[in-house]
Structure 1
C-alpha cells in the first residue's frame, strides 16, 4: 500500500509525465522530463550558493558540473567534505536542472559541498560513456583538479539515485580494482539499479509498480547497454552486481522503495558486501516508490529517507575529518 502522500505524488506526477514508455524520441522525452522535474522543484533553500563549472574529460569533451554550497553551515565548519552527485534517469534522462532540489537540500542539510555531474546520455552515448564521465570526475576530485575553489576533499563521497547509483557503485568498484591510493569514503545508493535485470522477488511482485515498471528498466537498459542482439558483451565494470568481489569497498548505505521493481537490487548488493565483511546498510521505505525523492517536501517517508541519507553522509565526513 502506498503512503497517502506518495499516492498523491504519483497522481500529480503521472498527470505531468505520464509514462517512460510514451512513443517519443529521447530528446522529446528529456524535454518532457525536465518540465516535469521543474514543476516539482521549489525555490532553493536559503543560504545555498550555486556555481557552475566544467571539467575536460580524458576523451576531450567538457563535462558540466554544478556546485551547491551552504553559506551558513560552512561558517560553522563542524562537518567538512565533498559529495559528487550522479543523477538518475535511466542513463537517458536528467540534467543539472532536473535534480537540483535534491542536490541543494543535501548541501543545506549536511553542510557538505555537493557537486552535480552532467554526464553524457544514451542512446547518443552508449555504455560506458556515462560511467567514463563519472569516473573522470571522481578521479579529478581525488587529484584535486575540480574547477571550484576551497573544496574540502579529504572526505569525498558519492551519491546516486537509480541509474546514478549504478554509476556511483561502479566507480567505487573500479577504483578499488585499480588499487587507487585514494578512494571514496562513503556511498549512498538511492533506489539503485545495480544489474541489467531487476532482482527477485521485487522484479515480479513490483513489475507494474507506479513510476517505474520492470519493462521501463529493460527499455532503459537496452538504450544504454544495448539489447545484446549483436553479441557485444556489456563492459563488466559498469554492472555492480556482476562484480566478482565485494570486499574493500567504502561504507555503503542503500535506500530502497517498497513499491519498486529495483527494490531487491539494494538488498542483494548489501548482502554481498556484508558477506565480504563490508560496512553495508539497507533501508527500505515502506509505502514509497521509485523516484520519490522529489516528494521530499510532502512525504513523511521520503523525509525519513532523506534524513537517513544525510545522517550517513555527515557521519562519514566526521569520521574522515574529525
Structure 2
C-alpha cells in the first residue's frame, strides 16, 4: 500500500510526466524529465554554495561537474561523488539538484554531481567510463575544485547506483583503495530486475518492468551477452568483457567492497536488486545493509518535502555518509 503522501506525489508526477512518454523522442523525454524535476526543486538550501567546472577524462571526453560545498568548506569531513539516476538516458546536474544539495546541507559534506554521457548516443560503457574517470581523479586529488576532503564515498540513485556500485567494484579489482562507503537508493544493479519484485511490482507507479527493459536496451543494447548471431566467439567474448564490469549483479565476487547501504523501495520492480546485492556482500564477509522504504515508489526522493517515508530514507543516507566520513 502506498503511503498517503506518496499517492499525492504519484498523482502530481503523472500530471507532469505522462505515462506514454516512451513514444516520444529521447530529446522530448529528457525535456519532460527536466520539467518534472524543476517542479520539485526548491531554492538552494542555506549554507550551501555551488561551483560548476568542466572535467576532461583521460580518453578526451569533457563533461560538467557541480560541487555543493558548505560555506566553511575547509571544515567539511568528507567528499561524496553523486551519480544521478535516469536509466542512463535522462537526467542532468539540474534534475537531481534537490537531492545533491540536501545531502550537502544535511551532512556538511562536499558533494560533487557528475553530468556523465547519456545513451543512446553514448551506449555502455560510456557513462561508467566517465564516472570511473572522475572517481580516480578524486582519489588522486585532481578534480577542478581545489583541495577537497580526502575521505571519499560514492552514492547514486537508480541507474546512478549502478554506476556507483560498478565503479567501487572496478577499483576493488584494480587494487585501488580509498572509497570509504557506498550509498545506493532504489538501485538498478542488473540488466533485468530480480524476483520477486520483478513479477509483483511489474506495473508499479513511476517505474514499470517495461520501463526498466527499455532503458536497459537503450544503454546496453545487445552488448550484455546477446550479441548478434554470426559474430565469431572471439568478438563475443571481447564485447562482453568490455561491459561485464558495468553490471554489478553479474560479478563473480563481492568481497573487498566498502561498507554499503542499499535502499530498495516497496513498490518498485527494482526493489530486490538492493536486497540481493547486500546479501552477496555479507556472504563474502563484507558490511551491507538493505532496508526497504515501505509505501514508497521509485523516484520518490523528490517527495522529500512531504513524505515521512522519504524523510526516513534521506535520513538513512545522510547518517550513513556522515558516519563513514567520520571514521
Alignment-derived partner of residue 280 in structure 2: 272
Q: Structure 2 residue aligned with 1:150, among 144, 147, 152?
A: 147
Counterpart secondary structure, 2:63: strand
Structure 1 residues 129-181: Cα deviation after superposition (integer angstroms, max 9, x where no partner) = 0000000000000010000023102x10000000000000000000000111x
In 2, distance between residues paired with 1:175 and 1:229? Answer: 27
In 2, distance between residues paired with 1:218 and 1:21? Answer: 15
Aligned residues: 314
Alignment-derived partner of residue 22 in structure 1: 22
Alignment-derived partner of residue 230 in structure 1: 228
In 1, distance between residues paired with 2:211 and 2:36? Answer: 18
Alignment-derived partner of residue 45 in structure 2: 45
Alignment-derived partner of residue 137 in structure 1: 134
Shift of 1:20: 6.5
Q: Which runs of 5+ in 1 are unaligned?
A: none
Shift of 1:21: 4.4
In 2, distance between residues paired with 1:38 and 1:70? Answer: 23
Contact 2:40 2:302 survives alignment (8 Å): yes
Runs of 4+ deviating beyond 3 Å: 231-234
Alignment-derived partner of residue 314 in structure 2: 306
Alignment-derived partner of residue 203 in structure 1: 198
Shift of 1:58: 1.6
The within-5 A match list for 1:55-204 is 55-71=55-71, 74=73, 77=75, 80-153=77-150, 155-180=151-176, 182-204=177-199
Task: State whether structure 2 residue 253 is matched by structure 1 residue 255.
Answer: no
In 1, distance between residues paired with 2:128 and 2:286? Answer: 23
Contact 1:120 1:130 survives alignment (8 Å): yes
Using a 3 Å threshold, how does the CA distance of structure 1 residues 247 and 20 change in structure 2: closer, same or farther? farther
Q: Which runs of 5+ in 2 are unaligned?
A: 230-235
Normalised to the residue count of structure 2, the TM-score between the two structures is: 0.94
In 2, distance between residues paired with 1:305 and 1:99? Answer: 16
Counterpart secondary structure, 1:45: coil
In 1, distance between residues paired with 2:288 and 2:10? Answer: 30
Q: Note the aligned Cα RMSD (angstroms).
A: 1.2
Shift of 1:125: 0.2
Shift of 1:28: 1.1
In 2, distance between residues paired with 1:281 and 1:112? Answer: 21
Shift of 1:193: 0.3
In 2, distance between residues paired with 1:238 and 1:183? Answer: 20
